[in-house]
């Protein structure tokens, strides 16, 4: 408890079942009959109602405390959910490509014929920042309605300096339009744009020598992602992107082993990546290397679902090796038009074999770690006050019945 002199307003949520998400990946860290006290943007105390009241009474001896008390009548409280991998900002629609895929064309065939990411690039280059923000808001609102308080948003549909910067600015704007924290990531190395056709190395040089330095100087993104894949960039090109990011003080993330096994996962883990994402084709040795570096693997079951991918990430091997597993929506126009993090958690259980506590950690504590954010994703004294109260009494309900809205109250950095 901090000792201060003066006047303080403490928000106190009482009579709650608190899923603190502290402890191991097999537990929710539940406190029945619990309470959470908030002081501004920070969690002051969490524990049984009696413990928390005792702490507040002790504080009241040092300063004047105004209590704003809310009786949650047994409702569940969790950390605000963290969606640590999205491509939320883009223009246009790929519904026509979806029709073709359902009729038999593959994602890789459509990409090779100049569709896929390039279809979205064309629409995105033609869109203004206002249009990009307007297009993203319904998706962001869906995530917010699902309990998300922090959302990572990647660029990657501009593939030129101006449009990549515009995408990142649009991502920042979203955080001013809604009460949510946005964590923008540069994904200029998403695919080779048409003006660099057949010259992937030249495009990577442009990304490393021009786009990454400009983004680092602008402060618009704190991390750089790269699509290390047969249909995108090879291992050497991906390594160059990671080196340029590190040289400019930016964190590293990677889309790796989604469609093929190029070795991007272990290479980026060794390069100090915060997370490697997808991982459907990770082998046993890759898992050991990733475990050794403590890198988070971000599971994206929506992408497997939408592409009909049968190859699933090696969850059992990762669990056995102690790899921290996050779960995210991958919300994007091509492979995961899915703006529900609780549905992604459900899919991670049903299709990938995560336990329900693992999936809950995947969208809270481990997701925060995948973003390098150590102040959230758990309910603990001193953590950021990002909380959701739900109209359910157990965390398994959130994953079991993902589509039904269950949010009762949502607090981001201490305010509703």
Which residues here bind ligand DI6, judged by CB under 6 A?
116-117, 120, 190, 227, 255, 258, 303, 330, 332-335
Q: For Fe ion, give the closer residue by CB, 164 or 330.
A: 330
152 contributes a contact to Fe ion by CB under 5 A: no
Minimum Å gap between C-beta 191 and ligand DI6 is: 8
Task: For Fe ion, give the closer residue by CB, 33 or 372.
Answer: 372
Alpha helices for 259-324 (secondary structure H): 264-270, 284-293, 301-307, 315-321
Using the rule CB under 5 A, which residue among 330, 342, 352, 377 binds Fe ion? Answer: 330
Within 10 Å of residue 142's Cβ, how many Cβ atoms? Answer: 17
CB 120 to ligand DI6: min, Å: 5
| Closest-approach residue to Fe ion (CB) | 330
Longest CA–CA span in the chain (Å) reads 71
Instruction: Choose from Fe ion, ligand DI6, none: what does 120 bind? Cβ within 5-8 Å by kind.
Output: ligand DI6
Residue 164: CB minimum distance to ligand DI6, A:
15
**How distant, in Å, are the alpha carbons of 172, 254, 256, 299, 309 from that of 281?**
33, 14, 8, 12, 11
Smaller CB separation from Fe ion, 84 or 354? 84
Choose between 17 and 335: whose C-beta lies nearer to ligand DI6: 335
333 binds, among ligand DI6, Fe ion, none (CB under 5 to 8 A by kind): ligand DI6
Please give the Cα distance from 415 to 181 (Å, whole number): 12
- For residues 333 and 395, which CB has a smaller minimum distance to ligand DI6 in the complex? 333
- Find out whether 329 and 302 touch, Cβ atoms under 8 Å: yes
**Region of residue 92 (phi > 0: left; psi between -120 and 50: alpha; otherwise: beta):** left
Interface region with Fe ion, contact rule CB under 5 A, candidates 60-68, 310-318, 322-330, 343-351: 322-330
Q: 28: helix, coil or strand?
A: coil
67 phi/psi in degrees, rounded to 5: -100, 125
Rounded-to-integer distance, Cα 16 and Cα 12, Å: 11
State the residues that interact with Fe ion by CB under 5 A. Answer: 330
């Amino acid at each position: 408890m901090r000792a201060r002199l003066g006047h303080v307003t403490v928000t106190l949520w009482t009579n709650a079942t608190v899923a603190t998400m502290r402890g191991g990946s097999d537990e929710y860290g539940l406190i029945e009959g619990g309470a959470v006290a908030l002081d501004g943007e920070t969690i002051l105390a969490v524990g049984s109602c009696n413990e928390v009241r005792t702490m507040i009474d002790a504080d009241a001896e040092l300063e004047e405390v105004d209590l704003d008390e809310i009786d949650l009548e047994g409702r569940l409280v969790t950390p605000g959910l963290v969606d640590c991998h999205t491509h939320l900002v883009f223009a246009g629609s790929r519904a026509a490509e979806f029709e073709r895929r359902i009729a038999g064309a593959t994602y890789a065939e459509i990409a090779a014929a100049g569709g896929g990411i390039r279809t979205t690039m064309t629409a995105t280059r033609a869109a203004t920042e206002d249009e990009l923000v307007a297009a993203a808001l319904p998706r962001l609102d869906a995530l917010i309605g699902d309990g998300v308080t922090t959302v990572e948003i990647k660029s990657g549909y501009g593939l030129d300096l101006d449009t990549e910067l515009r995408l990142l600015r649009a991502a920042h704007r979203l955080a001013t339009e809604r009460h949510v924290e946005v964590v923008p990531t540069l994904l200029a190395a998403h695919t080779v744009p048409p003006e660099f056709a057949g010259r992937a190395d030249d495009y990577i040089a442009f990304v490393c020598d021009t786009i990454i330095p400009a983004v680092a100087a602008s402060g618009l993104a704190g991390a750089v992602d790269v699509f290390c894949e047969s249909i995108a960039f090879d291992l050497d090109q991906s390594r160059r992107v990671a080196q340029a990011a590190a040289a400019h003080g930016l964190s590293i993330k990677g889309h790796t082993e989604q469609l093929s096994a190029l070795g991007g996962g272990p290479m980026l883990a060794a390069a100090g990546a915060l997370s490697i994402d997808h991982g459907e084709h990770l082998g046993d040795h890759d898992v050991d290397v990733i475990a050794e570096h403590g890198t988070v693997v971000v599971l994206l079951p929506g992408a497997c679902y939408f592409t009909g991918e049968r190859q699933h990430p090696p969850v059992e091997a990762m669990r056995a090796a102690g790899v921290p597993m996050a779960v995210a929506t991958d919300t994007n126009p091509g492979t995961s038009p899915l703006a529900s993090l609780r549905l992604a958690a459900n899919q991670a259980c049903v299709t990938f074999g995560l336990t329900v506590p693992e999936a809950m950690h995947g969208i809270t504590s481990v997701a925060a770690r995948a973003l390098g954010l150590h102040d959230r994703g758990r309910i603990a004294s001193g953590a950021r006050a990002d909380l959701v109260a739900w109209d359910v009494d157990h965390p398994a309900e959130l994953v079991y019945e993902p589509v039904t809205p269950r949010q009762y109250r949502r607090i981001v950095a201490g305010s509703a």
